[in-house]
Amino acid sequence: MFDSVLSSQPQRSQVVARHLVSFPPGYEPGTIYVQFSRARLYYVLSNGRAISYPIATPKGEARWSGETRVSAKKVNPGWTPTAEMRRENPDLPAYVPGGHPQNPLGVRALYLGKSLYRIHGTDAPWSVGQSVSHGCIRMFNQDVADLYQRVPIGTRVVVTW
């Protein structure tokens, strides 16, 4: 779908920083396009341009795709791990408050539809560029803060592999 955006897929060990890219015509400005196969999130601007952000992607069993909308936005969101996460790692706390340095949601979160998925920051910047999440889309904290201020509630989000 986005083959013309980047000429080659970056290696996961070589995370390419946020930058402006040419974007195929016909995509609605203000839309977020996520391409997990490239570990990139694109925020579409006008005139065939987009901001390309590096992301961490879901690991195998957590892969998903589809279309949704930003349903809520939070600054310094608190985090409650799911029961499945706590089964995988019994040492996880029941809750981590927003603003805590070990909060895996980082400094901002964009909630996606009625799901538990979010576009959010991270307390583990080394994970960006890797397939490690339980379905969420992780970004560097400075990148999610940049995206957060650009995106209103109701923004369309399209996720592909």
pLDDT per residue over 123-159, tens digit each? Answer: 999 999 999 999 999 999 999 999 999 999 999 999 9
43-66: buried (b, 16+ CB within 10 Å) or exposed (e) per residue?
Answer: bbbeeeebbbbbbbbbeeeeeeee
Within a domain: residue 27?
Answer: yes
Within a domain: residue 66?
Answer: yes
Mean pLDDT for 20-35 is 95
| Distance between start and end Cα atoms, the chain | 9
Within a domain: residue 49?
Answer: yes
Q: Partners of 108 in the beta sheet?
A: 75
Does 120 qualify as catalytic in the annotation?
yes
Within a domain: residue 12?
Answer: no
**pTM as predicted:** 0.89
- For residue 6, name the pLDDT band (cuts at 50, 70, 90): very low
Catalytic residue among 19, 100, 134, 136: 136
Find out whether 56 and 137 touch, Cβ atoms under 8 Å.
yes
DSSP string, 7-56: SSPPPTTSPPPSEEEE--TTPPTT-EEEEGGGTEEEEE-STTEEEEEE-B
pLDDT number for residue 39: 97
Q: Domains in the chain: how many in total?
A: 1
Within a domain: residue 50?
Answer: yes
Within a domain: residue 6?
Answer: no
Output Rg (C-alpha) for the chain, integer angstroms.
15
**Cα 59 from chain centroid?**
13
* Pairwise CA distance, residues 131 & 13, whole Å: 12
Within a domain: residue 30?
Answer: yes
| Tens digits of residue pLDDT in 31-48 | 999 999 999 999 999 989
Catalytic residue among 19, 100, 120, 134: 120
CATH code of the domain in which 82 resides: 2.40.440.10
Within a domain: residue 141?
Answer: yes
Domain span at residue 68?
19-160
Phi, psi of 119 (to 5 degrees): -100, 120
